[in-house]
Amino acid sequence: MRRLITGQAAAKGLALGRARVCEAHGLDISEERIEEDRIDDELARLHLAIDRARDELAKLRDRLHGAIAQEIGEFLDLHAMLLDDPELLAGFDRLIRDEGYSAAYALKLQRDRLVAVFDGMDDPYLRSRREDIDHVIGRVHAGLQRRDSDAMEGLAGDVLICDSVAPSEIAQLAERGVVAIVTAQGSPLSHSAILARSLHVPLVVGAHDALGQVNDGDAMMVDGRSGEVIVEPSAADLRRFRQRKRESQREQERLALLKKKATRTKDGVDIRLFANAESREDVAQAHDLGAAGIGLYRTEFLFLQRSELPDEEEQFRVYRDVVLGMRGRPVTIRSLDLGADKADKTGLALASEPNPALGLRGVRLSLRHVDAMRTQLRAVLRASGYGPIRLLVPMISSRDEIRRVRREFLDCARDLRTEGYEIADNLELGAMIEVPAAALALPRMIGDVEFLSIGTNDLVQYLLAVDRNNDALGDLYSPLHPAVLRLLHDVIKLGQKHAKRVLVCGEMAADPAQTRLLLALGLTDFSLHPGSMLEVRQIIRESDHHALRRRASTLLRAPDREAIERAIARL
């Protein structure tokens, strides 16, 4: 019987396949005790499953390259660390050897104990890390049940139905041919959702009824754009699916024709599309798609997954290669943005903070570790001898922070020139506007920067006091809030008044549904993932810039999200 399940759209795309229901992380295991003569065998079974899980993570780490490896590396390493935790392993041994429990039930008891510890924490970010416990224990349990078979066998063409999915699992599932994923929990702004979009795997999250309504083997139709999931689709559904797949293919072919086209509105206004990047693959794709340059090059991956700081020479070679890869188009390097949810083994960021999202991160971390900051500044400055490059400083909240960075920047430039290095004469310094205080204080510090970049992901989160990774608050986290629009408009307008370039580099810039809204607010510079560039370019080329600008006042007068959505629909 046909059934419709709705969730939140997280990664667009259409898929048709068989359902594979996975509830391993729930660990609904009854208490089971074993005879004394089975204890050694049961311990051996459990440790073999742990070794398998550890080996799976290591093999996945080795197979992945480029941006995907950088995106999920911290999760892979965290899960591997949990599997090596002596306290966790000792707990398993005690429950089996001293209490006489089966390996599966020992897993459940350890999982429940650790989850209770995480649930008792005051900090919401640390509470959210309980998912890592579920994913690790679930992986071991799968290995325990699997024995010598491969749990991933036969997944090609399947739609995975599960409670939640880790970024590392998404990469593995994509390799195995899973056509779509539907989860009962999760957020469209999670790392898993971002990775699914990068890998072009349709993803629907927050489909709370999925686990109760879907059986293994059911035919499934998943729409990652609308968030609709159809179980046992009708003949009419299948006809619509085939028609929409044909339309999607034609659309991709049309978009491919825009690679070398100008990003210009119907009324002749040039808009610049920059690319967000963190790897050579991203840079090559950006150049191939005709990006105006790199609007945000993330440098964190150089520092993640290693116990020592990268030296000046290593950083210089990476930044130089980005500049050379863009062949004269400008490159914006974001200074180190560790902290918050980015794992760090170098010792720069604090291992534990009461509230990491509001803690020692971004520019605060750089100014705490001036030697590490100067190493990065010198590398960026040396790369400027090979092409246009500028520096973007994250998490700015005051004029003093940007002035302190500039002093170090100029001091490093003097030292390098004295040492005989060739560096650019004029180097631009910009501030990321992602803290509401920076947006409100901007009139008093705009003279201290050459350009601005609005990080909408964090700006919306901090402005609305809504954790963007908390699916329970998904309805509250939205850039379509009157306060967000007012702040965006004011920052863009102030930048134009002072002849300072303003980019938007958050997920909002990559969302085609928001393109005309941003144009109406006056934005002329976007920075987005290369995968969204052609679709956004098409919308810009179909838009009348002057007509949109005349609608800005209507948008800014809208009293609530619903009114803003209606106004956008009329754009």
Name which of 451, 448, 453 is nearest 434 in CA terms.
453
Q: Quick check: is 25 catalytic?
A: no
b/e 400-428 (16+ beta carbons within 10 angstroms → b): ebbebbeebbeebbeebeeeeeebbeebb
**Tokens 């980019």 identify what position?**
503
Angle between helices 86-97 and 39-63 (to 10 degrees): 150
Q: Indicate the residue type of 223.
A: D
Q: Which of 25, 505, 529, 545 is the catalytic position?
A: 505
Q: 14-22 and 219-223 as β-strands: parallel, antiparallel, unpaired? A: antiparallel
Residue 416 sits at the vertex; the CA angle it makes with 411 and 419, to the nearest 5 degrees, is: 130
Q: Indicate the residue type of 420.
A: G
b/e 29-38 (16+ beta carbons within 10 angstroms → b): eeeeeeeeee
The strand pairing partners of 14, in sequence order, are 223
**Tokens 């919401």 identify what position?**
124
Name which of 340, 346, 380, 343 is nearest 362 in CA terms.
340
DSSP 60-99: HHHH--HHHHHHHHHHHHHHHHHHT-HHHHHHHHHHHHTT
Residues 6+ apart with CB under 8 A from 439: 433, 459, 487, 490, 491
Name which of 477, 482, 479, 481 is nearest 509 in CA terms.
479
Q: Quick check: is 191 catalytic?
A: yes
Q: Which of 135, 141, 191, 489 is the catalytic position?
A: 191
Locate the DSSP E strands across 376-500. Answer: 389-393, 429-433, 451-454
Q: Write out the catalytic residue numbers.
A: 191, 505
